Amino acid sequence: MTAASRPARGDRGDGAGDRVAGAGDRGYPHGGGRDGASPPPADASPAHAAVELCGIRLRHPIVNASGTFDAIAARRVFGDELVTRFPFSAFVSKTVTLAPRQGNAPPRLWELPAGLINSIGLPNRGLDGYIEHDLPELARLPVPLIVNVMGFHRDEVVRLVSELSARDEVAALELNVSCPNVETGLVMGADPGETARLLDAVRPLTDKPLIVKLTPNASDVPAVALAAQRAGADAVSLINTLRGMALHPATGRPWLGGRTGGVSGPSVRAIALAQVDAVRAAVDIPIVAMGGVSSGRHALDLIRAGATLVAVGTESFRDPAAGERIAAELAAEQARVAPPRGRRDAG
């Protein structure tokens, strides 16, 4: 069933939690709240910025990238005010796996001149823990919830999609295909055939939108995107982080506990633009684009390259209110200069 044939899904009063931004003592730069900090106003984005993704109505085109904003921790900092003054128009959860994961050993972060390398390792409570502990908290957020899931073989993804798509709190699912299939050794998202077989297994399980999060570490990203579209994906998201390494300045050994990590931030923005442009030439389904976005102009560039929505990731580490700020800047940019290629909506 395609996105166009599926019944429209309206605004849902749910959200999802991710990792780092919003969890510390840095406050939103808008006054009020704990220690004088509060989230940005909910009405900061003009009505003309509204957009749809696969039938889900959103008040503006800016969402969070999975794993970069901890909504549950942010609520501890800012209180219930976060529920009514939320920086993103939808919330993408951190990756949920079937079994609980502790994540990688520390250290987990290395700051770059234009971004960072993370080696977090996907720590999470696992499916059962997510449903029992996280989902009730996240359902109180005022935005649709998109749950990011990952399995080490197709059977795990099948169970994750089957159980989570049955939850009313979940508006859509994002499939993280950046890990190897333990049965074949192939990274699911690096091989068009692996991606198609995964979609063949999970597409019949749900009418809710399935978004495939593509890895940039593939030899032919547009081919993978096209395989996902042909197998029933409703949308794709890109780019995920690029593989990188940092060395200890004294010993010369790998600094990160996971040896390598994912590079994100301004240094990957040009790569994101190129990959979004190439994927847009290959597919017709919506694109959720991300990679080094720290301003409304950066978001506009990705929309001009073919994106429907833009996700903010690393910038939220620096500015927890970045989502709403960038949405307002984007609206101002769009009012000033009409994008030549425009934003693609899918109902």
- Residue 179 a catalytic site member: yes
What are the sequence ranges of the domains in the chain? 34-100+122-240+266-336
Rg from Cα positions in the chain = 19
Q: Which helix (H) or strand (E) segment is 110 a member of?
A: strand 109-112
Cis peptide before 287 (omega within 30 of 0): no
Residue 108 falls in which region: left (phi positive, over 0), alpha (psi -120 to 50) or beta: alpha
CATH fold of 34-100+122-240+266-336 reads TIM Barrel (3.20.20)
* pTM for the structure as a whole: 0.84
Instruction: Please calculate the CA angle 324-330-334 and round it to the nearest 5 degrees.
Output: 150
Check if the beta carbon of residue 137 is closer than 8 Å to that of residue 17. yes
Terminal CA-CA length for the chain:
13
Asked whether the beta carbons of 74 and 130 are under 8 A apart, the reply is no
**Could you give the residue ranges of the DSSP H alpha helices within the chain?**
71-78, 81-84, 126-129, 135-138, 154-165, 192-202, 221-230, 269-282, 296-305, 315-318, 322-336
Query: Which burial class, exposed, middle or buried, applies to 172 when counting CB atoms under 10 A from its CB (0-12, 13-18, 19+)?
Result: buried
Mean pLDDT by 10-residue block, N- to C-terminus, for the chain (347 residues)? 39 34 34 36 52 96 96 87 86 97 94 94 96 96 97 95 98 89 68 95 98 94 98 97 95 96 96 98 98 97 98 94 94 82 51
Bond from prior residue into 249 cis (ω within 30 degrees of 0): no
pLDDT at 185: 58
With beta carbons less than 8 A apart as the criterion, state whether 224 and 214 touch.
yes
Query: Beta-carbon neighbour count of residue 84 at 10 Å?
Result: 11
Upper half-sphere CA count for residue 126 (Cβ side, 13 Å): 8
- The confidence score (pLDDT) of residue 21 equals 38
Q: Could you say which DSSP state residue 64 is in? A: E
What's the residue count for the chain? Answer: 347
Pick the catalytic residue: 50, 73, 139, 179? 179
294 phi, psi to nearest 5 deg: -135, 5
3-state DSSP: the chain helix, strand, coil percent, rounded to 5?
35, 20, 50
Q: What is the side-by-side strand order in the sheet with 170-176?
A: 62-64, 309-312, 287-290, 235-238, 210-213, 170-176, 145-149, 91-92
- Residue 278, phi-psi category: left (phi > 0), alpha (psi -120 to 50), beta (remainder): alpha
CA–CA gap between residue 24 and residue 338 (Å, rounded): 37
Report the b/e string of 275-306 with b at 16+ CB within 10 A. bbbbbbebbebbbbbbbbbbebebbbbbbbbb
Note the pLDDT of residue 87: 93
* Residue found by looking up tokens 């919330």 in the block: 91
